Amino acid sequence: MKKLWRSTATTALAIGVAALFGPAAAKAETPQYGDELRMVVGSNIPSFDAHIESTFGMIHPIRPFYSVLIRVNPDNPSSPTDFVCDVCEGAVPKPTEGGTKYTFKIRNDIKFHDGTPLTAHDVKATFDKIVFPPEGIASNRVAYFRMVESITTPDDYTVEFKLKNPSGTFLPSVAMPFNFIYAKKDLDTHGYTWHQKNVNGSGAFKFAEYVPGSHVKGVKYEGYHHKGQPYLDGFTAIAAPKMSVRLQAIRGGQADIEFRGFPPKARDDLVAALGDQITVQESDWNCVLIVTPNHEVKPMDDARVRRALSLAIDRKGGSQYLSKIAIVKTVGGIVFPGHPLAATEEELSQLAGYGNDIEANRAEAKRLLKEAGHENLKITLHNRGVDQPYKVVGTWLIDQWKKIGVEADQWVQPSTPFYATLRSKKDFTISLDFNCQSIINPIADISKFLPGSGANYAYFQDEQLVKWYDEMLAEGDEAKQRELMRKYEKRVLDDLASQFITLWWYKINPHRSYVKGWKIAPSHYLNQALDNIWIDQAEKKRQLGG
Amino acid sequence: MTTMDVSPETNTGFRRKTVWDHLSRLVRRQPLGAGGAVVIIVMLMMALFAEFIAPYDPEANSFEYMLVPPSLDFLLGTDQFGRDLFSRIVYGARTALFVGFACAIIGAFGGLVLGVASAYFGGWLDLVMQRIIDVFMAFPLIIMALAIVSIFGTGTDKVIIAITIPFIPRCARVVRSSALAVREMPYIDAARSIGYGHFRIIMKHIAPNVVAPFLIMLTAFLGEAILLEASLSYLGLGVQEPTPAWGLMLQGGAEEYAESAPWVPVWPGLAITIAVFGFNLFGDAVRDMLDPKLRTR
């Protein structure tokens, strides 16, 4: 008990110290040049092409090689609206022509790593690939740019985006870290799939080496357009799928940082073992685990059964305890908690499964199951073979459902067959799924719950949801957007219980305290350019010797 | 008046041996094997009477008791979900034995059928079968099991398939070598000459004479199957939560809690070790008892 108290107190102290003095200290300290960052990455790289990938396994090692048009402010990455130019000039442009035109001035001092100057034509070619991909060419984020009508280049250093209608989701979509700027020359010469296996960017680091299953190496790009950066001579991204390996690598000094996030227990162990040699940064995470029933399979075609399964979940209790052992914490609806468009606690409590009286919720759940003729329901929860947080939450869900008499077991698949089951085989009854986004952009983010959106694996149709979603997209007034959002959320989580929320993730990044300049963001995809990170070399020497 | 004792023991001067006599002889001659048998009996008891032995539901989460160290309330402590480790170990014996016996019995019988058929019929059938067995035996057991589980997926039933398939050729190879010798015996020729069919010769004269290697393989497979199930579950490819299974308990606990809550990985690790050790000791004793060369020593 004493040990537990001591470890908790140390953790709290470390977080407190980091929170209180971290930013101030960072401001006061002068960045040092030199040395190399060693990060551990808990996933392999499916391909180098960010336009078709959605995983941190690609973003963490590859993002430092590329630039983007605009990005979240690296000094204020928690803000969902603070964007700054990367390859564009000055401030992020305001829209003109009634909110339907954005004009970006491109810097004229940027070169790709192969020496080719970066111009507006490269930006246009990149966004053409993302927004209007040719037949047969994949692009993962076409849906985010549905409002874009055309992209033009009036001159070599100007790009214009013409929108079909004013949209508050356009800039956040442009700022997504997946929109790597590719050289038009490369696309024209090598084709649209060349970037899956090759790298030619204009980021802070030049690609040096990739050893599959082992590591990616980058070296400082001396011609980087943000003057004075990067501070590091290079970086190595070490592939380490097992969490214990990543944890021990940081503890043993073989790695400096892991950008995705550790569970609380790992944080406590690191802090207890290394004390002030570890800095802990924590943040809410724009990532949520959702339960997706397959409406095409009985008994999930019955809204009463789906509602009952949602009512059985004690989200508040789960948050209190699961937050100690898993990377989940926050109770919320479909919108990132804390965002102006998110439901308040009172609004949430009106929805099925969010009421404060869990016993009453479960009594109602049992009544619904009885009414539906499924008193002794047996189901198999389809889950992803990843411990944090999928299998932990899956085990908890099964226990929650047991409390209303539902017997469930777990069918776990590795990531690739897991997605094949969700997307093409569709032979599951109910599954855990996630909605992880980069920039907090609620209206775009909630497309996950939109029937027929492509990423919605519940397989149902509902015209009302589509109508409200389209109205939200076209609505410029935030109060009206919020009103529509509440209707949309109630229909998803309550009336239809088409999908339901478990808990929002919580990001914990313990790293060696000599790693400076990096600030946590509410997404593991954000702030990964590594151009503002530096190593306090004296402190590193003190910690690791040598 | 005197009555005469007519019991055979008294008349002959010999006493009929009781079960206790056999057991004490076994303990004297095979003390390690007897120890193994005790482990197996304890496991069987745990598996059969888990509902009565385990004080708590092994799957029920009790978050208010997360990671409680061993105490009178929780004999072996609790895990990260507040589940009683003693109850999970007890129920875990059921999973281990179910998988162990299912794999060992199906694997050994499959091997018996193929081995005897291959030896008895010989010719091209034997040739083809042995080359296929060569291919299977070229892979280490765990690699073969991993490959199979990656095809069929996870879960108890899939684990049984994954472990059973590599067992079959191993048993078939051993049984075949014994059956080859039996096939050449004069009484087999005699049976043929009086018109016995293949099935009758195999069932009446060959199979009973390869029972010894068959039983040795069967007992050896039991321990191996338990270890393989634990390995697959540890790798996340076997039995899935919340089913109580020792390897799975190691997977959830060993990595994250080895330092701060060592009881989480220690007990299931110990359970696996003792069970496999017990089955191996018992298997060795069975081999010694059935091997005429070792028996005469």
Asked whether the predicted pLDDT for residue A481 surpasses 60, the reply is yes
Q: What is the mean pLDDT of residues A51-56?
A: 88
Q: Which residues, including other chains, have CB under 8 Å from residue A507's CB and lie 6 or more apart? A: A261, A282, A283, A284, A285, A327, A520, A522, A524
Asked whether the predicted pLDDT for residue B6 surpasses 80, the reply is no
Is the Cβ pair B240, A269 closer than 8 Å?
A: no
Is the Cβ pair A409, B243 closer than 8 Å?
A: yes
Is the Cβ pair A410, B242 closer than 8 Å?
A: yes
Residue of chain B whose alpha carbon sits nearest to that of A384: B236
> Chain B residues with CB inside 8 Å of A325's CB?
66, 80-81, 256
> Chain B residues with CB inside 8 Å of A324's CB?
66
Q: 């999908």: which residue's tokens? A: A499
Is the Cβ pair A243, B81 closer than 8 Å?
A: no
Confidence of residue A429 (pLDDT cuts 50, 70, 90): very high
Amino acid A546: pLDDT: 67
Q: What is the mean pLDDT of residues B118-126?
A: 92
Interface test with A, best of B66, B256, B264 (most A CBs within 10 A): B256
User: What distance in Å separates the CA atoms of residue A59 and residue A61, rounded to the nearest whole number?
Assistant: 6
Q: Is A503 exposed, middle or buried (0-12, 13-18, 19+ CB in 10 A)?
A: buried
Is the Cβ pair A396, B260 closer than 8 Å?
A: no
Question: Residue A263, SS3?
Answer: coil
Amino acid A69: pLDDT: 98
> How distant is the alpha carbon of residue B6 from its chain centre?
45
How confident is the model over A491-541, as pLDDT tens digits? 999 999 999 999 999 999 999 999 999 999 999 999 999 999 999 999 999
The partner residue sitting opposite B66, judged by closest CB among A243, A324, A398, is A324
Interface test with B, best of A412, A427, A431 (most B CBs within 10 A): A412
Distance from CA of A293 to the nearest CA of B (A): 20
> Chain A residues with CB inside 8 Å of B155's CB?
409, 411
Chain A touched by B262 (CB under 8 Å): no
Residue B281 lies in a domain: yes
- How far, in Å, are A244, A266, B31, B246, B285 from residue B251 at the CA level? 11, 15, 34, 9, 32
Looking at A117-121, A281-285, A448-452, B268-272, which range is the least confident one?
Answer: A448-452
H helix intervals, B235-262: 246-257
User: What distance in Å separates the CA atoms of residue B104 and residue A514, rounded to the nearest whole number?
Assistant: 55
Asked whether the predicted pLDDT for residue A239 surpasses 50, the reply is yes
The partner residue sitting opposite A266, judged by closest CB among B155, B243, B256, is B256
Asked whether the predicted pLDDT for residue A16 surpasses 60, the reply is no
Cβ-contact A368, A308 below 8 angstroms = yes
Distance from CA of B132 to the nearest CA of A (A): 29
For residue B130, give its domain range. Answer: 29-54+76-295
Confidence of residue A22 (pLDDT cuts 50, 70, 90): very low
Mean pLDDT (chain A, rounded) = 91
Among A524, A384, A387, A507, which residue's Cα sits nearest to residue A39? A524
Asked whether the predicted pLDDT for residue B4 surpasses 80, the reply is no
Confidence of residue B110 (pLDDT cuts 50, 70, 90): very high
Residue of chain B whose alpha carbon sits nearest to that of A387: B252
Residue of chain B whose alpha carbon sits nearest to that of A321: B63
Amino acid A9: pLDDT: 44
Fold for A283-505, please state it: Dipeptide-binding Protein; domain 3 (3.10.105)
Q: Domain count for chain B, please give it.
A: 1
Confidence of residue B266 (pLDDT cuts 50, 70, 90): very high
Q: What percent of chain A has pLDDT over 70?
A: 95
Mean pLDDT (chain B, rounded) = 87
Question: Residue A294, SS3?
Answer: coil
Q: What is the mean pLDDT of residues A398-426?
A: 90
Q: What is the mean pLDDT of residues A361-385?
A: 95
Distance from CA of B239 to the nearest CA of A (A): 9
What ipTM does this complex have?
0.81
Q: Is B187 exposed, middle or buried (0-12, 13-18, 19+ CB in 10 A)?
A: exposed
Amino acid A92: pLDDT: 96
Is the Cβ pair B242, A317 closer than 8 Å?
A: no
Instruction: List the domain boundaries for chain A.
Output: 31-256+514-544, 283-505
The partner residue sitting opposite B256, judged by closest CB among A265, A321, A385, is A265
Tokens of A32: 């040092």
Q: Which residues pair with A278 in a beta bridge?
A: A512
User: What distance in Å separates the CA atoms of residue A203 and residue A68, rounded to the nearest whole number?
Assistant: 9
Q: 């060349």: which residue's tokens? A: A194
Looking at A382-391, A441-450, B146-155, which range is the least confident one?
Answer: B146-155
Q: What is the mean pLDDT of residues A264-286?
A: 92
Residue type at position B256: E
Chain A touched by B63 (CB under 8 Å): yes
How confident is the model over B245-263, as pLDDT tens digits? 998 898 866 677 888 889 9
Q: What is the mean pLDDT of residues B94-105?
A: 93
pTM of the model: 0.81
How confident is the model over A173-186, as pLDDT tens digits? 999 999 999 999 99
Residue of chain A whose alpha carbon sits nearest to that of B261: A4
> How distant is the alpha carbon of residue B158 from its chain centre?
18
Residue B71 lies in a domain: no
Quick one: residue A527, left, alpha or beta (phi over 0 = left, psi -120 to 50 = alpha)?
Answer: left
The partner residue sitting opposite A243, judged by closest CB among B80, B153, B255, is B255
Residue B133 lies in a domain: yes
Chain A touched by B155 (CB under 8 Å): yes
Is the Cβ pair A385, B66 closer than 8 Å?
A: no
Distance from CA of A7 to the nearest CA of B (A): 10
Q: What is the mean pLDDT of residues B108-115?
A: 94
Amino acid A454: pLDDT: 72
Question: Residue A209, SS3?
Answer: strand
Residue type at position A461: Q
Amino acid A76: pLDDT: 92
Distance from CA of A382 to the nearest CA of B (A): 11
Q: What percent of chain A has pLDDT over 90?
A: 75
User: What distance in Å separates the CA atoms of residue A410 and residue A395, rounded to the nearest whole number?
Assistant: 8
> How distant is the alpha carbon of residue A310 from its chain centre?
24
User: What distance in Å separates the CA atoms of residue A397 and residue A380, rounded to the nearest whole number?
Assistant: 11
Is the Cβ pair A396, B241 closer than 8 Å?
A: no
How confident is the model over A143-199, as pLDDT tens digits? 789 889 999 999 999 999 999 988 888 999 999 999 999 999 999 999 999 999 999
CATH number at residue B80: 1.10.3720.10
The distance in angstroms from the start CA to the end CA of chain A is 37
Confidence of residue B73 (pLDDT cuts 50, 70, 90): very high
How confident is the model over A32-43, as pLDDT tens digits? 999 999 999 988
The partner residue sitting opposite B61, judged by closest CB among A265, A399, A410, is A399
Options 3.40.190.10, 3.40.50.720, 2.60.40.2310, 3.90.1150.10; CATH of A31-256+514-544: 3.40.190.10
User: What distance in Å separates the CA atoms of residue A380 and residue A544, rounded to the nearest whole number?
Assistant: 48
User: What distance in Å separates the CA atoms of residue A88 and residue A502, rounded to the nearest whole number?
Assistant: 40
Amino acid B10: pLDDT: 52
Residue B96 lies in a domain: yes
Residue B207 lies in a domain: yes
Interface test with B, best of A395, A406, A432 (most B CBs within 10 A): A395
Is the Cβ pair A413, B60 closer than 8 Å?
A: no
> Chain B residues with CB inside 8 Å of A393's CB?
none
Amino acid A28: pLDDT: 61
Asked whether the predicted pLDDT for residue A19 surpasses 70, the reply is no
Asked whether the predicted pLDDT for residue A293 surpasses 90, the reply is yes
Residue B7 lies in a domain: no
Amino acid B219: pLDDT: 87
How confident is the model over B31-52, as pLDDT tens digits? 888 899 999 999 999 999 999 9
